[in-house]
Structure 1
Amino acid sequence: MTAYTRQTDLIPRGGIRASNTRRGRVAKADVPAPSPVEEQPKSLPAEAVEAAPKADSEGMRLVVILFIASLLFPMVTKVGPLVLFPYRVFLVVMFIPLFIRLVSRRAGGILLIDWCMMASTLWAGIALATNHPVGQIIDTFGIYTLEFFGAYLIGRIGVRSAADFMAMVRLAFIVIVFLVPFAVIEALTNKNILLDLMPSSIKDTNQGVRLGFNRAQTIFAHSIHYGVFCSLLLGVTWYAFHPEKPILRIVLTFPIVAFSTFLSLATGALIAFNVQFLLILWEVIMKPIRQRWVIFGWLSVAGYIFVDIMATKSPFHTIVAKLAFSQTSAYNRILIFDHGMKNIMANPWLGLGMNDWVRPSFMSSSTDNFWLLIAMRYGIPGFALFAIAVFLIMRRASRVPLTDPLDRACRAGFLTAMGGLIISGGTVDYWKGMLAFMMFFIGSGVWLFSGGANTTPPAPEEPDEDTLRRQS
């Protein structure tokens, strides 16, 4: 739970007057806040932040806008064996320029996190080449590289400040607001208007009825992806949508995000939403206590041990059974985990590639566990390198001593959303556009500790003449 340390050190009760000395700030904007600020370290540890020049984030913000816009049009174009979507074409165009910006140190230099992401991508290529003829996996590896590392570069290079991050959050929230009426119609009539209007779009998949409603899919490949996308915005809109207007959280962003997530009727999405809600609630209640996240970590460990002692099954099995919509869905996820781990242990280094995995005949090939599937396909090293990168991003983001209230608001939202994203990844698989957006979002938090945030303590104000006279 170290990753959540100081995750919501926001803005003083009395507000703060933000200057326009940093990129994208509103000049002299009064920014109130719901809670006091914990004392920040006066000096910055050398390992906490990379000394790096600021990137021209104003120019790169358009790249982020175009990337998110490209995800809204799930239209299929086939070029030989390649299946292209607008976002894939955009990633192809941007991959080399973004990689050049990374290696030329125009976005904070190359970090250990970047090396882990590159190594994980390359290991996936080695795993695919080992399990399949090279000629058969070139397009597969190329698409994976684009969606995995290329989308990460969009977030890594394109989001370099609090202004960039909040602009991204607002754009994503606008997307949710736009999709709400179409999701309602789909939930009530099982009619996907958006996909019907788009030429050569992905298929509208009938995913059944839950609680008397059809599961909304909108523009995504699956209702689970629509739900996870919506739930992901709970943390970031709560803290970073309009930090200076906290009333918007209660009357606008929270209800819309909650309602949109519900329309997906997806277990993984609702779990992600509830995890973020729990983290926010804990922060609100325990704000006066400095060590609140240490306490939260120990309570989580104690709760796990308690469930392990009291329940007849393992904590994992018990939690999944309680949170799933049906016992059938819960049982299937438990079987996927159990047999998936057997496949990983049987192929620990290079995985299975795209080959089918070994399981009982009555189980489908679907693997509703993103983290498990990465290890199954590309081996433990491919998964471990990726997991290390995610861990380092969250750890360093949580520990960097930020001095700007808007930076801290963005950090709080990013870490809260990452908590939901990681947990939901254990119950759903991310593919196509949702995989690209997830990797983009992971990369969008690196600016917090790679030279994009303000870590310089404010200079003390010089005393006026009256004060100097009294002191003398």
Structure 2
Amino acid sequence: MTIARAKSRTVFGVPVPVACFLFAIMLPTAVSLNLGGLRLSAYRLVLLVMFVPMLSQLLSNQRGRMHIFDGLVLAHCGWALLALIKWGGLAQGIESGGIYVIECAGAYLMGRLYIRSYEDFAAMTRAYVGLVLATLVFTVPEALTGNHILHDSLAAVFGGPKAAYIEPRMGIERTFGPFDHPILYGVFSASAFSLAYFVIAERKLSKFGNLSKVAGVGLATFMSASGGPYVVLMAQMFVCTWERVLGAVQGRWAALFSFFAIVYFGIDLLSNRTPFHVFVEYLTFSKESAYNRILIFEYGTAEVARHPLFGIGLGDWIRPVWMSDSMDNFWLVTAVRYGLPALFLQVGLLFGIVWVVGQMPNFSPAWRRARHAWAFTLFGISVAAATVHLWNALFVLFFFLIGTGAWMLDTSPREHRNKRHRPVTLLAARPARLF
């Protein structure tokens, strides 16, 4: 059966819902509506308005047939909803869990349903990178003066608080941009690196325009002066270099994973500390920060061991009285709040969709670059998520980016060239070399 690609109105080539979503995540949380105890930020409003239409389109196969990864997202959200109901009762659980479903599944569906071709993906990339570069107009002066221009100006208009004071690093003020914390701005900026390098620059940095865009993303990341965003950037640069040097070598990705495994077990055997301790210490700015993350991991995993099935919801976790309640580990937060099944479903979604897309054969050079850009972006965020928590705009951005690669499962390059869009099922896809 042939399923015609659903057409979307666009703004500069970007589907209107995606354009609204990207604009919304650029607004601080002060730009929000408060309904009782419920805060509806700009991106929440966009996802709330679009959620039922998107779910209807998914279930009716209007934008590609449903597949296992759609099921994993919905199952993860369903489990998190059950965990929150168990924690707070039916009314509180539905209120908190409903917002989680809107943010997680809604953001995924935004990317999954409205990025349906290489052209959509490229247009989204240009818009995303353009937003990152546009923030430099504000964040470079912010880093030099300490005046949080975008955040504080928008917060003042909508009656929100000013940006909190954070100590400078490396001789510059840590920039917020329009976000609520420098880490959020930094991860947002760093996540555009592979997109700029592979899709916009097409791996060619000899032209000034291409080089300036890629370098601009790096500069925006640097302005945050935050370790987590630097990890996102460095992880992407590492795998980009690996691909550049060994692009013609078969089995290069299996070799890379083997290299990671050897390094991990080598550290485990030769060091009196665990690989996690070594990783955290060398990828954070201070010993105090590294020590705090190690304690978070130890007390957090103990909490998971006590509540492995449904977690503790939004309840408080056991820790020394002098420790903050902030848990700087996205993966650990998921397990602590919603239990190990929610974490396994989340990890299964991420690694499963990247693996299956990596096995899709006969991609054109442009499609391979798009695949690299998408997979390397998710790789960078996933590595950094072990040392930072993704919250607010960064949480929805992460799931949106996961969804933006699903078009590669549904349409083959040959069908795309012939303007036919019959989806390719996972069982029909022949294995090929990874990426």
TM-score, structure 1 normalization: 0.83
Count of paired positions: 408
Matched, 1:214 2:173: yes
**Is the contact between residue 57 and residue 160 of structure 1 (CA under 8 Å) also seen in structure 2?**
no
**Higher mean C-alpha displacement, 224-233 vs 70-79:** 70-79
Structure with the greater alpha carbon radius of gyration? 1
**Is the contact between residue 337 and residue 372 of structure 1 (CA under 8 Å) also seen in structure 2?**
yes
Q: Could you tell me how far apart the structure 1 residues matched to 2:95 and 2:144 are? A: 39
Q: Could you tell me how far apart the structure 1 residues matched to 2:54 and 2:187 are? A: 27
**Is the contact between residue 190 and residue 232 of structure 2 (CA under 8 Å) also seen in structure 1?**
yes
Q: Of residues 183, 191, 196 in structure 2, which corresponds to 1:237?
A: 196
Q: Could you tell me how far apart the structure 2 residues matched to 1:81 and 1:102 are? A: 31
Alignment of 1:409-428 (within 5 A): 409-428=369-388
Shift of 1:52: 6.3
Unaligned runs of 5+ in 1: 1-50, 460-472
Q: CA RMSD in A?
A: 1.9
Q: Of residues 25, 37, 40 in structure 2, which corresponds to 1:71?
A: 25
- Give the match's secondary structure for 2:39: strand
Matched, 1:204 2:163: yes
Matched, 1:167 2:123: yes
Q: Of residues 352, 361, 386 in structure 1, which corresponds to 2:346?
A: 386
Alignment of 1:61-460 (within 5 A): 61-74=15-28, 75-198=31-154, 199-200=157-158, 201=160, 203-243=162-202, 246-248=205-207, 251-451=211-411, 453-454=412-413
Q: Structure 1 residues 402 and 359, CA, compared in 2 at 3 Å: closer, same or farther?
A: farther
Q: Could you tell me how far apart the structure 1 residues matched to 2:414 and 2:360 are? A: 8
Q: Which residue is equivalent to 2:425?
A: none
Q: Could you tell me how far apart the structure 1 residues matched to 2:161 and 2:330 are? A: 21
Q: Could you tell me how far apart the structure 1 residues matched to 2:245 and 2:97 are? A: 47
TM-score, structure 2 normalization: 0.90
Q: Could you tell me how far apart the structure 1 residues matched to 2:47 and 2:375 are? A: 26
Q: Partner letter of residue 339 of structure 2?
A: G
Q: Could you tell me how far apart the structure 1 residues matched to 2:326 and 2:98 are? A: 22
Q: Which residue is equivalent to 2:428?
A: none
**Higher mean C-alpha displacement, 186-195 vs 319-328:** 186-195
Q: Could you tell me how far apart the structure 1 residues matched to 2:362 and 2:58 are? A: 23
- Give the match's secondary structure for 1:403: coil
Q: Structure 1 residues 353 and 457, CA, compared in 2 at 3 Å: closer, same or farther?
A: closer
Unaligned runs of 5+ in 2: 419-435
Q: Structure 1 residues 197 and 336, CA, compared in 2 at 3 Å: closer, same or farther?
A: same
Q: Could you tell me how far apart the structure 2 residues matched to 1:150 and 1:103 are? A: 14
Q: Which residue is equivalent to 2:421?
A: none
Sequence identity percentage: 31
Q: Could you tell me how far apart the structure 1 residues matched to 2:201 and 2:169 are? A: 34
Q: Could you tell me how far apart the structure 2 residues matched to 1:126 and 1:284 are? A: 45
Q: Could you tell me how far apart the structure 1 residues matched to 2:285 and 2:2 are? A: 48
